[in-house]
Amino acid sequence: MIFLTYIIFFFAGLIIGSFLNVCIYRIPRKQSIIFPPSSCPACGRRLKPIHMLPVLSFILLGGRCAYCKKRISAMYLVVELVTGVLYSLLYCRFGIGFLFLKYILLFSILIVICFIDIEKQNIPDEMVVAGLLVGIIFSFLDRQNFWNYFYGALIGSGILLLIVILSKGGMGGGDVKLMAEIGFFLGWQNTILTLFSSFILGGMFAFVLLITRKKSMKDSLAFAPFLGIGALVAVFCGHYVFLYYSK
Ligand SMILES: [Zn+2]
């Protein structure tokens, strides 16, 4: 029975992931995420429901548009699968409740922001503001911990702002705002763990890109995905890390 619930949340994640794909494509292009219905980005033909089944349509159509046969980015598939796996894992870790609802909202917003940052090297303000509002609402709902969340937002964005100033623009202002949002969702301890994990992961990734000469010191690197993975580490491991250090 429990296993069946994991499957249900996995499929729910796939369907939401399919909607997140619409957001990732349309928000940077300033298009409505509701209307018009989905169409092929290459030929503009409107997609039928059979073409929009998460994962399945991509596989059945061989990763190509049903009409013009243009290749569809594998990113769509990745977004759906990541959302499905995440929903299932969050259910496994938290069960259905306040934290589950809070974290599926956080990570759905983060998936959109991270993939837009990867594609466009830009974090859309409207998504960060939406996330910030949701984070503030959740911190009010968890009233006795409100200041914990508030300090999370303050410390998270404060540290990144300091880096922006010291590095003279080596990091974007979007990351500062994003960290305020993450801080409001996670509280100060997990915010510090998020930053710590993202710096280590981002640093290692940049090092690999530099030694394999895929990028030079002058190139920029989208940092939102590392903040997203850092938040994931904090949500899943934060409890154990702080338990270990408080012994
Ligand atoms: Zn097409």
Of 162, 192, 196, give the one whose Cα is nearest residue 176: 162
DSSP 3-state of 39: strand
What distance in angstroms lies between residue 110's CA and the mean position of ligand 1's atoms? 28
In this prediction, residue 88 carries a pLDDT of 97
Q: Which two tokens stand for residue 242?
A: 């702080």
What distance in angstroms lies between residue 32's CA and the mean position of ligand 1's atoms? 20
What distance in angstroms lies between residue 25's CA and the mean position of ligand 1's atoms? 15
Output b/e per residue, 42-77; b: 16+ Cβ within 10 A: eeeeeeeeebebbbebbeeeeeebbeeeeebeeebb
What distance in angstroms lies between residue 68's CA and the mean position of ligand 1's atoms? 4
Query: Cα dihedral angle (54, 55, 60, 64), rounded to 10 degrees?
Result: 90
Task: State the pTM of this model.
Answer: 0.93
What distance in angstroms lies between residue 111's CA and the mean position of ligand 1's atoms? 25
In this prediction, residue 140 carries a pLDDT of 95
What distance in angstroms lies between residue 56's CA and the mean position of ligand 1's atoms? 17
pLDDT one-digit tens code per residue, 31-76: 998 888 888 988 989 999 999 899 999 999 999 999 999 999 999 9
Read off φ and ψ for residue 195, nearest 5 degrees.
Answer: -60, -45
In this prediction, residue 244 carries a pLDDT of 82
What distance in angstroms lies between residue 62's CA and the mean position of ligand 1's atoms? 13
pLDDT tens digit at each of 247 positions of the chain: 678 999 999 999 999 999 999 999 999 999 998 888 888 988 989 999 999 899 999 999 999 999 999 999 999 999 999 999 999 999 999 999 999 999 999 999 999 999 999 999 999 999 999 999 999 999 999 999 999 999 999 999 999 999 999 987 677 889 999 999 999 999 999 999 999 999 999 999 999 999 998 877 777 788 999 999 999 999 999 888 888 877 6
